[in-house]
Structure 1
Amino acid sequence: MKKFAVVLVASSVLLAACGTDQKEDKKEEKETSQTTNGSHTTNQEDTNQENDNNQEGEEEEMNSQFVKFEGKVKEVNTAEALEDNTIIVNDTTNQDEELHIQIHKKTKFYNSNGEEINIEAIKPESTITVYMDSSRPVPMIYPPRYIVDVVIVDDGEVNFADVAKFDDKLVSDTNSVKLIENEDTIIVDDEGNEKTWEDVKNANAIVFYTASTRSIPAQTSPSKVVITKVTELEATE
């Protein structure tokens, strides 16, 4: 009888222990499930936030004032009428696609040092960067033909240039450059008239600089700023 009682007690203890283990296993399983679900929610939120940021970046790029092309000059065709002058370029940013660049009466030409030049200074094999008003319609013809506002010729100097609309904090509409005010910066308009930093705010400008930070946007104290109104003019003027 005593042995039977001992067996019953031992069995009860064993069953109780098994029940406790099962409860603990279920508790751990529940906690693991909660942790996994929580992690999934966080990852989904991160994905949504990333998508929102990407959409904002795309909208910002789409709303930029200027479209930019880079390439090597293949041919320069000059004519008596300025608007008939064309530059044939192999667009290095788009698998060397051939582009026909047309200028208009107020198209501005500069070297990378910020010195104003004319179309005669552009030769075959020259590397150029051109900017055009993003709202200007493009004829549906091939090869593509673009009416451009600014042409910058790479003269071999280690200098940089950008054309954009700058806000009241002197940040470009592409969020690529932020200008730092410097009293030594030369600031003029299209006609060469002296201007101030206040005039640069909320204006289209051509900027030339030699160095910048690696931040986003890059910060620089430009050597020269040209406030331009080329996009306000019709291409046939």
Structure 2
Amino acid sequence: MVKFLPFSGTVTMINDFSVSPNSESEGCYKVMSLVDGSGRQVNFIVEPKTYFLDHAMVAVGDRVTGYYDADAPVPMIYPPQYRALVMVKETPSQNAKVDFFNSQLVSSDGMLKLNLSPGTQILLENGQRFTKSPANRNLIVVYGPSTFSIPAQTTPYRIIVLC
């Protein structure tokens, strides 16, 4: 189970990142710098397999949240550098959460509970329908309004199952 941690901020730089000189992967990896409201900076390494919600094109100045594996080893450098697993470009009409949801569809941090409806789309990363239960899985949840309770409850618009 991956322990997803988010970092939200404004994109200040996007550059190519070289994993090895003179290779076929040249130009396929990017380094994306984010700065949050308190001035903290994080560099995300964006790989070809990094999942961008809605295939959003991200540019300098955009507000985004990058999710990384909290248990993965990272180089001891400043600013911190993480391998981006999921990137979400902020939009005013929807919220997103990437986390493990248990058998009761409660996130691992206990802050969000999902109430599924027949209209909730449940998809794979490739856009195909997922036909099993989303419980006990890592999910990208796209939702709108939620309750003010703890955990907050919502009926998601869409769920992407991270297999």
Same fold (TM over 0.5): yes
Corresponding residue number in structure 2 for 1:107: 50
Q: 1:69 to 1:90 in 2, by over 3 A?
A: same
CA drift at 1:197: 5.8
Could you tell me which of 83, 98, 102 is aligned with 1:147? 83
Corresponding residue number in structure 1 for 2:159: 225
Deviation sequence 1:70-112 (CA, Å, 0-9, x none): 10110111463423x11111133xx2122211022321112xx
Aligned partner of 2:139: which letter? A
Task: Give the whole-Å Cα distance in 2 for the aligned partners of 1:135 and 1:99.
Answer: 17
Percent pairwise identity = 32
CA drift at 1:144: 1.1
CA drift at 1:64: 7.8
Task: Give the whole-Å Cα distance in 2 for the aligned partners of 1:174 and 1:82.
Answer: 33
Deviation sequence 1:27-76 (CA, Å, 0-9, x none): xxxxxxxxxxxxxxxxxxxxxxxxxxxxxxxxxxxx98211101011011
Mark the runs of 5 or more structure 1 residues left unpaired by the alignment: 1-62, 230-237
Normalization by structure 2: what TM-score? 0.88
Corresponding residue number in structure 2 for 1:186: 121
Q: Structure with the greater relative contact order (CA < 8 A, sep ≥ 6): 1 or 2?
A: 2
- The structure with the largest alpha-carbon Rg is 1
Tell me if the contact between 1:76 and 1:122 (Cα under 8 Å) persists in the aligned partners: no
**Greater per-residue strand proportion:** 2
**Greater per-residue helix proportion:** 1
Normalization by structure 1: what TM-score? 0.62
RMSD, matched Cα: 1.7
Q: How many residues are treated as equivalent by the alignment?
A: 155
Could you tell me which of 111, 127, 131 is aligned with 1:176? 111
Mark the runs of 5 or more structure 2 residues left unpaired by the alignment: 18-25
CA drift at 1:147: 0.7
Task: Give the whole-Å Cα distance in 2 for the aligned partners of 1:146 and 1:203.
Answer: 22
1:116 aligns to 2:44 (yes or no): no
Corresponding residue number in structure 2 for 1:8: none
